[in-house]
């Protein structure tokens, strides 16, 4: 737990599971990455403070390391805010990330895999962006879920939708649009036919 602003030259290194609370303070490291999560480490970074590296990544996560950020921490790096090795596990649902080269570098190349379901990348104005070449990104809640794919639940009149932007999933009843011949279809591909007996 930080109780004041702190300046140093060596990274804070996490070799086992720990919770690190920045509160509202700033951790500044001059010589290298500010925080390093090793292959045996797990870091839960909380608070609303800042993590700043003057000569490296704000947070470096080595292969096998684990990082979770669920609070509005600001991470600033002179190279990348987050530098994530292949094989690291990262869960982001908050935070703002700024780097001089790019905000985030991930060796696996899948930026969306870093996000918790229901969250997306946004710019300073709150517009959804892709972080590949961005120098500053923020993790925000996905609100509109306008880009959905659907999967029908076999044998039911329900389906599951998945937001293609944030990967959130939710079940809902099918809604059928009917044609003149009595056949109805749902966006998930489910179909139903209404048979009307005019003599009944």
Residues 166 and 155 sit within 8 Å (Cβ to Cβ):
no
pLDDT tens digit sequence for 27-77: 999 989 999 999 999 999 999 999 999 999 999 999 999 999 999 999 999
pLDDT tens digit sequence for 104-128: 999 999 999 999 988 999 998 888 8
Helix/strand/coil (H, E, C) string of 20-65? EECCCCEEEECCCCCEEECCCCEEEEECCCEEEECCCCCEEECCCC
| Residues facing residue 42 across a β-bridge | 17, 66
- pTM for this one? 0.79
Q: Please, what is the average pLDDT of the chain?
A: 93
Listed residue (84, 87, 136, 135) closest to 111, CA to CA = 84
Residues 34 and 28 sit within 8 Å (Cβ to Cβ):
yes
């Amino acid at each position: 737990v930080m109780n004041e602003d702190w300046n140093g030259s060596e990274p804070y290194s996490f070799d086992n599971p720990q919770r690190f609370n920045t509160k509202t303070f700033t951790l500044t490291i001059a010589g290298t990455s500010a925080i390093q999560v090793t292959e045996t480490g797990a870091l839960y970074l909380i608070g609303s403070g800042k993590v700043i590296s003057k000569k490296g990544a704000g947070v470096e996560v080595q292969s096998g390391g684990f990082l979770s950020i669920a609070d509005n921490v600001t991470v600033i790096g002179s190279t990348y805010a987050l530098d994530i090795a292949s094989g690291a596990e990262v869960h982001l649902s908050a935070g703002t990330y700024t780097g001089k080269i790019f905000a985030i570098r991930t060796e696996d190349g899948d930026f969306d895999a870093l996000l918790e379901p229901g969250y997306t990348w946004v710019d300073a104005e709150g517009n959804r962006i892709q972080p590949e070449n961005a120098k500053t990104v923020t993790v925000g809640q996905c609100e509109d879920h306008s880009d959905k794919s659907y999967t029908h639940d076999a044998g039911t009149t329900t389906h599951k939708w998945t937001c293609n932007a944030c990967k959130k999933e939710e079940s809902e009843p099918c809604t059928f649009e009917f044609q003149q011949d009595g056949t109805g279809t749902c966006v998930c591909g489910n179909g139903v036919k209404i048979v009307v007996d005019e003599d009944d």
